[in-house]
Structure 1
Amino acid sequence: MSPEILSPQIILIVSVGFLLGGILKGATGFGAPMIAVPLLAAAVDVRFAVVVFSLPNLVPNLWQTWAFRKTALPRPFLLRFVGAGMVGSVVGTIVLSVARTDILMLGVAVVVLLYIGLRLSRPHWQLAYDPACRWAWLPGLLAGISQTAAGLSAPISITFLNAMKLDRLTFMPTISCFFAGLGVVQIPMLVGMGFLDGPKALLSAGALLPLVAGMPIGAWLGRRISPKVFDRIILCVLTLLALRLIWRAITGS
């Protein structure tokens, strides 16, 4: 096992990143990558962040998909949305393997800033089911590429589903099924390409602990803090992380 990967400093960074990600997921029902991935990318690099997030992304989403399967959107929608996302995950993982680290950092920063802009703009229009089902393959494909290449797909996947004005019980299994589908494709590719080796697999599996520990904290905070205030705090943190990624990409430090 590599002492660099499993050093106390790296373990601490991963623990904090996934604890914060779990808090956000517990408070909002989604969004763990929006905290954990930028934090890990800023501390180490984007490839490390994507690889370490692979197992914690798959396991909870498989559980949520099964637990809420009766309230998910109909199968035709899932086949288009999730199926295209799985194709996109193949493309995104290949991009991850060949792209320059500084370009990936800038990509993550741009995605985070785009997400912040979309959250602040809060479009109020609603996308009807029929056109959403017909075109679900397009956001699915783009979100799959973004998730596996940069670790973030929220500006595409979450915004698309939010535009449909889904209730929580429909939203949760639908987005969980999407992320689980990406993980099923992504993890074997990461192993085959040598990115998800023994030490990183151990670190990725261990990251499930702080992620799960953070979720009840987030649920508790979500009941006591104004959603608007909590949202603004998260957006401020994400802005700082995005700026840090841009600085690292430009200066290399």
Structure 2
Amino acid sequence: MTESSPLAVALIATAVFLLAGLIKGVVGLGLPTVAMALLALVMHPAQAAALLIAPSLVTNLLQLRPLATIGPLARRLAPMQAGVVLGSLGGAMWLGGTMGPGAVAALGGVLMVYAAWGLLGVRVTLSGRTERWLGSVVGVITGLVTAATGVFVVPAVPYLQALDLSKDELVQAMGISFTVSTAALGVALFAQGLYSTSAVASSMLMLLPAVAGMAVGRWVRALLSPAMFKALFFLGLGLLGLYMATKS
């Protein structure tokens, strides 16, 4: 981390959220990780985390669009999301804090293996019968992992990818899961007295670049073929895992 002027920090933060929003718009994930990685170069991690609150929540909500198709998908994913809430709240009360960098590094390794598996063309599709009971289990585990590490992509994303959704349905499904996970984690942190609102104004200012970047990313995604989207999706997961493993 280097010392920079307030104006330089503001400009860098704006550029970072533009980039992070663009990535999220294209592949449906990665905004918190990309933003934290780059913002940590110019500010304390705690300040970076505070800036993420509003952009992360709002871009997750925007990822729920189009609302006309969300009903059937939300009903299909309801058992998983109920598990996410249960696991997040229960995990927060049980663990009382994060498990440290070792847990995040391990999750990063899992993501890299899964990304390599996907790039090699290995495909897993769940039957409706398996989906009915596995969704709740995946949700609870995802909630526990979220409470322990603040990372809510494992095993939620591999599970959602195995549902054989279209590229837009997959992005929307991740939006549903990430929104529920973020809200549940926020409630858990608030209940523990760990959620501060002192930086809400600064966080709100970062909404504009994050949303603008996401809009550009959505436009780019519309131009991609399903095969190209799949390649970028797994590449994004792999890079996310690499960052988590090496940074931690």
Name the TM-score class by shorter chain: 0.7 to 0.9
**Unmatched runs of 5 consecutive residues or more in structure 1:** 247-253
Q: Greater helix percent: which structure?
A: 1
TM-score by length of 2: 0.73
**1:26-56 residue CA offsets vs partner (Å, 9 max, x unmatched):** 11233333423555578744x7666654433
Aligned counterpart, 1:29: 28
Q: Which residue of 2 aligns with 1:116?
A: 112
Kindly indicate whether the alpha-carbon contact (under 8 Å) linking 1:11 and 1:203 is maintained by their aligned counterparts in 2: no
Q: Spell out the pairing of 1:221-232 with structure 2 (5 A cutoff).
A: 221-222=220-221, 223=223
Q: Is the 8 A contact 1:146 1:153 kept in 2?
A: yes
1:81 is matched with 80
CA contact (8 A) 1:143 1:153 kept: yes
* Residue 192 to residue 231, structure 1, CA distance change in 2 (3 Å): closer
Q: How many residues align?
A: 238
Q: Tell me if 1:242 matches 2:244.
A: yes
SS of the aligned residue for 2:102 comes to helix
In the TM superposition, what are the counterparts of 1:70-149 in structure 2 within 5 Å?
Answer: 70-73=69-72, 77-94=76-93, 98-99=97-98, 104-122=100-118, 123-149=122-148
* Aligned-pair CA distance for 1:213: 2.1
Aligned to 1:199: 198
- Structure 2 CA distance for partners of 1:131 and 1:54, relative to 1, 3 Å: farther
- Identity across the alignment (%): 23
Contact 2:108 2:245 in 1 (8 A): no
Tell me: CA distance 1:10–1:242, structure 2 relative to 1, closer, same or farther (3 Å).
farther
Shift of 1:197: 1.9
Distance 1:178 1:235, change over 3 A: closer
Amino acid corresponding to residue 216 of structure 2 in structure 1: I
Cα deviation digits, residues 58-82 of structure 1 (max 9, x gap) = 3233344364353454565433111
Deviates more, 1:229-238 or 1:155-164: 229-238
Contact 2:50 2:199 in 1 (8 A): yes
Q: Counterparts of 1:8 and 1:158 in 2: how far apart (Å)?
A: 37
SS of the equivalent of 2:198 reads helix
In structure 1, the partner of 2:18 is 19
Shift of 1:86: 0.9
1:57 paired with 2:53, answer: no
> What TM-score do you get using the length of structure 1 for normalisation?
0.72
Question: Which residue number corresponds to residue 207 of structure 2?
Answer: 208
**Rounded Cα–Cα distance in structure 1 between residues aligned with 2:124 and 2:160:** 12
Residue 136 of structure 1 aligns to a residue in which SS? helix
RMSD across aligned C-alpha pairs, in angstroms?
3.8
Change (3 A) 1:208 1:164: same
For the structure 1 residues 95 and 44, does the alpha-carbon distance in structure 2 shift closer, same or farther, using more than 3 Å as the test? farther
Q: Structure 2 unaligned segments of length 5 or more: list them.
A: none
1:161, 1:231 → 2: CA distance?
A: 13
Q: Helix, strand or coil: the match of 2:199?
A: helix
Q: Distance in 1 between matches of 2:170 and 2:230?
A: 20
8 A Cα contact 1:68 1:172, kept in partner: no
Q: Which segment drifts farther, 146-155 or 230-239?
A: 230-239
